[in-house]
Structure 1
């Protein structure tokens, strides 16, 4: 059997590759590599993915064009064309996902004010929005969101507009403003399996709008996504801290002295008698001098 003569075969119509080129590659080759380099510098998130797949698609397309015009580059052309098709498909898929994640104006403001600064992606926030069915509720002026001792703690709510007054036994405590939780202390006071009632009354000072998550649906979301559970724990406890500081600015005794809610003596004080308050506000030196005077009197 005679050896195969490549020169006489049908492939002889194609030029043979003879060593490396003496000159440099064309401009399309350099443009392809520049686009690939810039594409791999894309960040995370939807817009980062759009940037990444857009430049990768353009880079692989330029590589396909360059390989088409070069001899002995059929394999390079096929690889570049396949990679261009894959990145273009990913680009279209990311664009569809971005359209589905588009939020209403109210939820966009909630995301910008409360979650975006914590680095929460739109993907995770869309799961948070879906757990409340994207519903915005209203509360008329002088209507109560909760009544102390009567309303069950069965949801977690964020005020979108308006102002809510918080009272206990008819005495004013503080106001709740937009993009603050309406019931963060009540939410944090209960375990998932526990039930309870509001210990304060929340009444609207003017027409209000808010969004609410049901406890059961939110805990189901937390069970599936531990990251979202950690984010909610952070924003809820930060909201509670803000409310405590607002209370601290209004905590005065009968002598006009301000209490500090961070002091354990205030938190565990059994009563509110004037003599107990005066005793708590005395300096250590004043306490010792007062006791010595009492001994002299006795």
Structure 2
């Protein structure tokens, strides 16, 4: 009997609704749905001879093939133009569920830029530098200074100006409240505030991940400063 087509189609459709815990899991599920719908099309026209059922299966098949093509596009091999960016993605954004394609788009030359600082060079001067960007230290080491007093260091894969970025989110014309000086040669990636905030509205995954990482970075900086104050009091 031709019932095997019907049963095989439903098995494939059932597999299509299983969430496989793999990077290519959505692709596997969508392929199963496409195969199941192809079998349903064959069954509806050959076995039950129903043009209506066949038509609806074809419509759903076309929709799923379109989604499958989209998945192939998003899961294609994505290469970053810089090893530093790949390291930043693998260490910070990949664990947060941000796709390579999204990070590549938001770290492109149109939205971000990579800069160098020599030892002793300033990233910002207190009261002079505009607070209109967010930067992430990729390599090197920098110190944060306020009114001539050392506050805390900035290590690789830490944001350089997360407290200022968060506290002045409604006014990019404000000036930096601290000076940030490179201790050794540094490289950092920087996003302009206006461009970044505009794209965060559209890229919700990146927005959620960035908000979490900025908040965690600020917490770590506050903890470091409180620990420093506590040690001074104990002395």
Same fold flag (TM > 0.5)? yes
Gaps of 5+ in 2: none
Could you say which structure has the larger radius of gyration?
Answer: 1
Matched, 1:56 2:33: yes
User: Would you say the 8 A contact 2:111–2:196 is kept in 1?
Assistant: no
Encode CA deviations 1:174-214: one digit per residue, 9 max, x unaligned: 21112211011222232423533333322223332211111
Matched, 1:37 2:19: no
- How many pairs are equivalent? 233
Encode CA deviations 1:135-167: one digit per residue, 9 max, x unaligned: 322223332212233322221111122221223
Encode CA deviations 1:88-125: one digit per residue, 9 max, x unaligned: 2221123224449x362544543444445555566765
Distance in 2 between residues matched to 1:132 and 1:235, nearest whole Å: 22
Of the structure 1 ranges 130-139 and 205-214, higher mean CA displacement relative to structure 2 is found in: 130-139
Gaps of 5+ in 1: 1-22, 259-298
Is the alpha carbon distance of 1:224 and 1:42 closer, same or farther for their aligned partners in structure 2, counting shifts above 3 Å? closer
> What RMSD over aligned residues (CA atoms) do the two structures have, in Å?
3.7
Matched, 1:198 2:201: no
User: Would you say the 8 A contact 2:130–2:172 is kept in 1?
Assistant: no
Quick check: which one's strand share is greater?
2
Shift in Å, 1:37: 0.2
> Counterpart in 1 of 2:60?
83
User: Would you say the 8 A contact 1:156–1:213 is kept in 2?
Assistant: yes
> Counterpart in 1 of 2:191?
213
TM-score by length of 2: 0.76
User: Would you say the 8 A contact 2:117–2:123 is kept in 1?
Assistant: yes
Q: Which has the higher contact order (CA 8 A, sep 6+)?
A: 2
1:56 partner SS: helix
